[in-house]
C-alpha cells in the first residue's frame, strides 16, 4: 500500500520490537549495508540486535511506501552530528525528512515533507534520573520540577527530557546545543510552551511540539518546524514487524504547543 503525505502533515510511526526474531529475519538482514551488518553483529544482546535490525528495516520499508524506491535502494548520509538524511536524487524522495527514536521495545519514526522534525521516545516505567534535570536543564525547568510534589516529579522529568531531546534532534545538532539555554513550561493540563535564550538564535514561533503516550510505559515528544502559518495534521500509525499490517493508531496526545 502506497501512502501519501503532504507538507501540512506529520506522520508518526510506532513499531513494537518483537520478542523473537520475525519470520522474515533473513529478508530484513538482506536490506542491511555491509557497515550496518557489521554494527548488527557487534551488539551483545539478541534484543538489541533485533531492535537495530527492525529499525533499519522499518525506515527503508516505510520510505518505500512514500516514494517509488525499493527498500534496498535508499541511500542515507549523515551530518556532522550523526543525523541521517535521505541521499537519493529523486525529488519525491529528497523532499522527505525523517527522524528515528527507539527505546528497548518501541521504535518511533516521524516523517514530514521539507520540514525539520525531531522525535524522542523514552521508557518511563523506570526510575527517573532527576539529578540530570538539576545539572543540565534550564534553571527555570529545574526549579519548577523541584517545586512539584515528589510523586509528580518523575513524569514531569520525562516530559522535559523527551521535549528537549525532540528539539535537539529536530535541529540535528545533538548535545552540542546547550540544554540549559531553552526551556519548556506547562500551561494547564494540555499545553506546553518553549522559550529560547538569545544566544540560541531561535524562536518559539518556528516550532510546534506534541507529547504523546502510546502506552503506559512510554512517553513520546515530537518537534516539528513550522514553515507555513496554517495548522499541521498529526497522523499516527502502527506497523507490524514485517509491515504486513499497517493501521492508523490512536496514540493519546497528552499536550501540544499553541497552534499544534
Ligand X SMILES: CC(C)(COP(=O)(O)OP(=O)(O)OC[C@H]1O[C@@H](n2cnc3c(N)ncnc32)[C@H](O)[C@@H]1OP(=O)(O)O)[C@@H](O)C(=O)NCCC(=O)NCCS
Q: Which is nearer to ligand X, 136 or 249 (CB)?
A: 136
- Does position 159 bind ligand X by CB under 6 A? no
Dihedral (C-alpha) 245, 246, 251, 257: value to the nearest 10 degrees?
160
Helices assigned H by DSSP within 22-77:
25-29, 34-42, 46-66
Q: What is the DSSP letter of 115?
A: S
CA distance 204 to 201: 10
Candidate ranges 123-131, 157-165, 192-200, 218-226; the one touching ligand X (CB under 6 A): 157-165
**Which of 129, 258 has the CB closer to ligand X?**
129
Stretch that binds ligand X, among 42-50, 171-179, 180-188, 189-197 (CB under 6 A): 171-179
What is the nearest approach in angstroms of ligand X to the Cβ of residue 176? Answer: 8
Size of the site for ligand X (CB under 6 A): 19
172 binds ligand X (CB under 6 A): yes
Indicate whether 186 belongs to the interface with ligand X (CB under 6 A). no
Q: How far is residue 192 CA from its own chain's centroid?
A: 17
Give CA 208 to chain center in angstroms.
14
**Location of C-alpha cell 527522524:** 99
DSSP state letter for 224: E
Measured torsion, CA atoms of residues 22, 25, 31, 32, in degrees rounded to the nearest 10: 100
Q: Do 208 and 223 contact (CB within 8 A), yes or no?
A: yes
Instruction: Tell me if 196 contacts ligand X by CB under 6 A.
Output: no
Instruction: Examine residue 166 and tell whether it contacts ligand X (CB under 6 A).
Output: no
3-state secondary structure of 10: strand
Stretch in the footprint of ligand X (CB under 6 A) among 6-14, 15-23, 89-97, 168-176: 168-176
The interface mask with ligand X, positions 45-64, x = CB under 6 A, is ----------x---------
To ligand X, the closest distance from the beta carbon of 99 in angstroms equals: 5
**Which positions touch ligand X (CB under 6 A)?**
55, 81-84, 99-102, 120, 161, 164-165, 168-169, 172, 174-175, 179
Amino acid at each position: 500500500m502506497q501512502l501519501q503525505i503532504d507538507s501540512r502533515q506529520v506522520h508518526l510511526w510506532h513499531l513494537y520490537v518483537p520478542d523473537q526474531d520475525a519470520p522474515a529475519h533473513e529478508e530484513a538482514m538482506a536490506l542491511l549495508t555491509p557497515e550496518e551488518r557489521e554494527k548488527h553483529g557487534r551488539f551483545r544482546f539478541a534484543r538489541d540486535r533485533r531492535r537495530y535490525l527492525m529499525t533499519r528495516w522499518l525506515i527503508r520499508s516505510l520510505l518505500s511506501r512514500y516514494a517509488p524506491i525499493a527498500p534496498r535502494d535508499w541511500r542515507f548520509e549523515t551530518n556532522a552530528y550523526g543525523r541521517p538524511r535521505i541521499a537519493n536524487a529523486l525529488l519525491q524522495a529528497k523532499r522527505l525528512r525523517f527522524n528515528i527514536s527507539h527505546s528497548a521495545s518501541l521504535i518511533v519514526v516521524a516523517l514530514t515533507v521539507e520540514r525539520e522534525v525531531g522525535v524522542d521516545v523514552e521508557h518511563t516505567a523506570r526510575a527517573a534520573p532527576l539529578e540530570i534535570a538539576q545539572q543540565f536543564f534550564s534553571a527555570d525547568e529545574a526549579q519548577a520540577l523541584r517545586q512539584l510534589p515528589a510523586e509528580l516529579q518523575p513524569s514531569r522529568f520525562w516530559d522535559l527530557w523527551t521535549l528537549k531531546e525532540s528539539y535537539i534532534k529536530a535541529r540535528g545538532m545533538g548535545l552540542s546545543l546547550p540544554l540549559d539555554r531553552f526551556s519548556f513550561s506547562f500551561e494547564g493540563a494540555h499545553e506546553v510552551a518553549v522559550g529560547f535564550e538569545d544566544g540560541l538564535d531561535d524562536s518559539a514561533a518556528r516550532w510546534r511540539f506534541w507529547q504523546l503516550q502510546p502506552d503506559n510505559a512510554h512517553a513520546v515528544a515530537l518537534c516539528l518546524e513550522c514553515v507555513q502559518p496554517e495548522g499541521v495534521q498529526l497522523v499516527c500509525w502502527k506497523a507490524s514487524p514485517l509491515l504486513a499490517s499497517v493501521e492508523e493508531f490512536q496514540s493519546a496526545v497528552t499536550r501540544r504547543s499553541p497552534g499544534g
